[in-house]
A and B are shown apart, each in its own frame.
Chain A
Amino acid sequence: MANSADAVDGHDLGDRHERYDLAVVGAGPAGLAAAAAAAEHGVRVALLDSAPWPGGQFYRQPAAELRASRPQALHHHWPAFQRLLARLDVARERVTLLADHHVWSVTGGSGAFAVRALTGPDQRQARQLTARQVLFATGAHERQLPFPGWTLPGVVGAGGAQAMLKAGLVLPGRHVVVAGSGPLLLAVASCLVTAGATVPLVAEAADYLGYARGARVLAANPGKLVEGAQHGATLLRHGVRLRPRTAVVAAHGTDRVEAVTLGRLDAAWRPVPGSEWRVPCDAVAVGHGLVPQLELPLELGCRTRRLPDGSAALVVDAAQRTSVPGVWAAGESTGVGGVQLAVTEGELAGLAVAGQTAAPRELLRRRARQRAFAELMAARHAPGGGWTQWLDDATEVCRCEEVTARQVRDAVSELGAPDQRTVKLLTRAGMGWCQARMCGPAVARLCGAHDDGAPTRPLSTPVPLGLLAECDTPAPPSEGAPDDHP
Chain B
Amino acid sequence: MVVIGAGMIGAACADALARRGMRVAVLDRGPVVGGTTGAGEGNLLVSDKGPGPELELAVESLRLWRELAEDLGPRALEYEPKGGLVVARDRQAFTELQASARLQCLSGVTTVEVPADALGELEPHLAPGLAGGVHYPQDAQVQPALAAAALLRRARDTGRVHLLAATTVTGLSEGRVETDAHGTLLCASVVNAAGTWSGEIAALAGATLPVLPRRGFVLVTEPLPPLVRHKVYAADYVADVASGSADLQSSAVVEGTAAGPVLIGASRERVGFDRGLSVPVLARLAAQAAELFPALREVRVLRAYRGFRPYLPDHLPAIGPDPERPWLFQACGHEGAGIGLAPATARLVAQLLDGEQPFMDPAPFGPGRFGKEQA
Contact = CB atoms under 8 A, between A and B. Distances in A.
A466 B298 contact: yes
A472 to B, nearest CB: 3
B163 A468 contact: no
B264 to A, nearest CB: 8
B31 A422 contact: yes
Interface in A444-475: 457-459, 462-466, 468-474
A459 B298 contact: no
A233 interface: no
Contact of A9 (B146, B280, B303): B280
A465 B301 CA distance: 6
A355 interface: no
A418 B280 contact: no
Interface in A274-318: 299, 301
Interface string B287-303: 10110000011111111
Contacts of A415: 32, 149, 152-153
A137 to B, nearest CB: 20
Contact of B34 (A422, A433, A465, A474): A422
A464 B32 contact: no
Given A9-B279, A464-B298, A469 B287 contact: yes
B280 A5 contact: yes
B68 interface: no
A277 B185 CA distance: 54
B305 interface: yes
A419 B246 contact: no
A415 B147 CA distance: 12
Interface residues of B, number: 50
B90 interface: no
A418 B279 contact: no
B271 interface: yes
Contacts, number: 139
Given A419-B31, A422-B31, A422-B33, A465 B149 contact: no
Interface string A26-68: 0000000000000000000000000000000000000000000
B284 interface: yes
B279 A469 contact: no
Given A428-B259, A462-B222, A5 B248 contact: yes
Given A415-B152, A428-B259, A433-B222, A468 B303 contact: no
Contacts of B34: 421-422
A469 B305 contact: no
Nearest to B295: A465
B152 A418 contact: no
Interface string A1-31: 0011110110000000000000000000000
A136 to B, nearest CB: 15
18 contacts: A4-B278, A6-B278, A9-B280, A107-B277, A301-B275, A426-B145, A431-B303, A433-B302, A459-B303, A462-B302, A463-B300, A465-B219, A465-B286, A465-B301, A466-B297, A468-B283, A469-B283, A471-B280
Interface of B: 31-34, 38, 145-146, 149, 152-153, 163, 165-166, 217, 219-222, 246-248, 259, 269, 271, 274-284, 286-287, 289-290, 296-306
Given A5-B280, A425-B145, A472-B280, 15 more contacts: A5-B248, A107-B279, A415-B153, A418-B166, A421-B31, A421-B34, A422-B38, A422-B145, A425-B146, A458-B217, A458-B305, A459-B304, A462-B222, A465-B289, A470-B287
